[in-house]
Structure 1
Amino acid sequence: MTRTSGDLTSTGSVNTDSPALYACVITHVRRTPLRHTLRHRTYLWCVDVDRLPVLPRPLRPLARFDARDHFAGTAGSIRAGLDAFLATQGVDLKGGRVMMLAHARVFGLVFNPLSVFWCHDSSGALVCVVAEVHNTYGQRHCYLLRTDEAGQAEVDKEFYVSPFFAVEGRYRMRLPLPGERLGLTVHLEHDGGRAFTAVVQGVRRPASVPALLSATVRRPWSTAAVWTGIRRHGIHLLLRGLPVHPRPRSTPQKGILP
């Protein structure tokens, strides 16, 4: 990564193009066949993929953005990986701005259940939103969404995420570009009802060094905590007798790690 005007500074000063941190509460509500609620506190980054932040060298273990963590994982940059995926969908942003909401690597570890990319064209108009989903089996899948003015879109479920849900149903997503507040919602609808809802709510802070240190102290090993939390709740549901759906043989999506 190279230094840009989006770098963090020890004074905490940032310009309008600088990255942001969102202190978040993530809520999962499973409605069928058992009702179960999960709440988890963490923090997420919102960054321009062409202006990724670079921390002062001693703090770099606290946040790193790697191309290997997104899309096929083989491109030279996150932007290149995104563009390669969009090309398979017939989309050319012509160099337009892309904002990404995701976890960064913390002490070498990262797990992003959902990364979101807001893709604009060269005039600044929003072309599409890419929702990249990761499961705990090391697989990834991207949904290309054409959102409306409220940031809403629907898409068929095509990817195995939880062992307690088959690859069936339809997602109704609301993914507006974050501002001072972050508010994302994903509903899974199946058999005429709402089976599952995930909500991400957060408050923006400029990504200064003090803000990052504060977030790290409050949520150390944040991405590892997300992964272990999902596993822990999975064990809880298994012990409650929730049936498991076998993981299907995956068919690699173009431009995505199978």
Structure 2
Amino acid sequence: MPALYPCTVTHHRTSPRRYALRHRTYLWCVDPDRPPRLPRPLRPLARFDARDHFGGRSPTIRAGLERYLTAEGVDLAGGPVTMLTQARVFGYVFNPLTLYWCHDPSGALVCVVAEVHNTYGERHCYLLRPSGSQLGPVEKEFHVSPFFPVDGEYRMRLPEPGDRLDLTIRLIRSGKPVFAAKVRGERRPATASVLLPLAVRRPWSTAVVSLAIRVHGIRLYLRGLPVRPRPIHRPQEGVE
């Protein structure tokens, strides 16, 4: 069943200058094979569109995911997928991070795909494979913050959403943590009675997220953080 997660997103930067931010929003947890279809009056508040994921060239979100996984040598054999994302609100969406927990037909976790978007309109996917009870680290390969170069590695703690949402992503450079993002929230049923109050309290939530990222970037720039040159982004096979 689809669910909503009212949540708090926090960022903590420790290098080259300390800075923290806190933002409230809400996320959708859905089955990409069967994204929720809301009553007509509520559809402007949540739309799940294949063009917003994996290059936007596949007919469905699941098809785009499968295309990416095939390029990475992963076959789910039709197993279920759980997707955590922002939906389009009034025709606009910005998804800093969409997560896909990918299972085999028995329900065992095969991998997690972290699909990242930056404010330059680019996207990149990281494939994380289970290593015991943890997900293996991945090298940073994508320009996100203009104040960090493309180096280091991500260490992600991404338990599949249940009653609570509890995600942590850390960037490690030269063996030291320099940035951490956390998402904390509680599960709510994806009903009109839950969605409407959230939409009123967080109006046009996707646009607000995009604007907040830019505002905090300006603040960091005014505090003297140097802007790193943005490298040429080479789209991944099967993504764009």
Q: Same fold (TM over 0.5)?
A: yes
Equivalent residue number for residue 188 of structure 1: 171
Equivalent residue number for residue 38 of structure 2: 55
In the alignment, is the contact (CA less than 8 A) between 1:130 and 1:143 conserved in 2? yes
Equivalent residue number for residue 5 of structure 1: none
Q: CA deviation at 1:191?
A: 1.6
- SS of 1:215's equivalent in the other structure is helix
What are the Cα deviations for residues 74-106 of structure 1, in whole angstroms up to 9, with x where unaligned? Answer: 100000000000000001111110010000000
Equivalent residue number for residue 86 of structure 2: 103
Mean alpha-carbon deviation: is it higher for 59-68 or for 139-148? 139-148
Whichever residue aligns with residue 173 of structure 1, its letter is M
CA distance in 1, matches of 2:205, 2:158: 22
Equivalent residue number for residue 136 of structure 2: 153
CA distance in 1, matches of 2:10, 2:132: 24
Equivalent residue number for residue 93 of structure 1: 76
CA distance in 1, matches of 2:136, 2:169: 10
Regions of 4+ moved over 6 Å: none
Structure 2 residue aligned with 1:42, among 12, 25, 28? 25
In the alignment, is the contact (CA less than 8 A) between 1:154 and 1:172 conserved in 2? yes
Structure 2 residue aligned with 1:124, among 104, 107, 117? 107
Structure 2 residue aligned with 1:247, among 208, 230, 234? 230
Equivalent residue number for residue 190 of structure 2: 207
What are the Cα deviations for residues 190-239 of structure 1, in whole angstroms up to 9, with x where unaligned? Answer: 02211100000000001011101011011001010100000000000000
Equivalent residue number for residue 157 of structure 2: 174
Instruction: Please tell me whether residue 229 in structure 1 is matched to residue 212 in structure 2.
Output: yes
In the alignment, is the contact (CA less than 8 A) between 1:150 and 1:176 conserved in 2? no
What are the Cα deviations for residues 152-192 of structure 1, in whole angstroms up to 9, with x where unaligned? Answer: 33100000001000000000000110000000000000022
- SS of 1:179's equivalent in the other structure is coil
Whichever residue aligns with residue 142 of structure 1, its letter is C
Instruction: Please tell me whether residue 162 in structure 1 is matched to residue 139 in structure 2.
Output: no
Q: CA deviation at 1:145?
A: 0.3
- SS of 2:172's equivalent in the other structure is strand
Equivalent residue number for residue 13 of structure 2: 30
CA distance in 1, matches of 2:133, 2:19: 28
Q: What's the C-alpha RMSD, in Å, of the aligned pairs?
A: 0.9
Q: Which 5+ residue runs of structure 1 have no aligned equivalent?
A: 1-17
How many aligned positions are there? 240
In the alignment, is the contact (CA less than 8 A) between 1:151 and 1:177 conserved in 2? no
Q: CA deviation at 1:147?
A: 2.5
Q: Which 5+ residue runs of structure 2 have no aligned equivalent?
A: none
Equivalent residue number for residue 8 of structure 1: none
Mean alpha-carbon deviation: is it higher for 150-159 or for 40-49? 150-159
CA distance in 2, matches of 1:109, 1:151: 34
- SS of 2:37's equivalent in the other structure is coil
Q: CA deviation at 1:149?
A: 5.1
CA distance in 2, matches of 1:25, 1:242: 26
Equivalent residues in 2 for 1:75-86, closer than 5 Å: 75-86=58-69
Q: 1:90 to 1:158 in 2, by over 3 A?
A: same
Whichever residue aligns with residue 231 of structure 2, its letter is P
TM-score (norm 1): 0.91
CA distance in 2, matches of 1:169, 1:201: 25
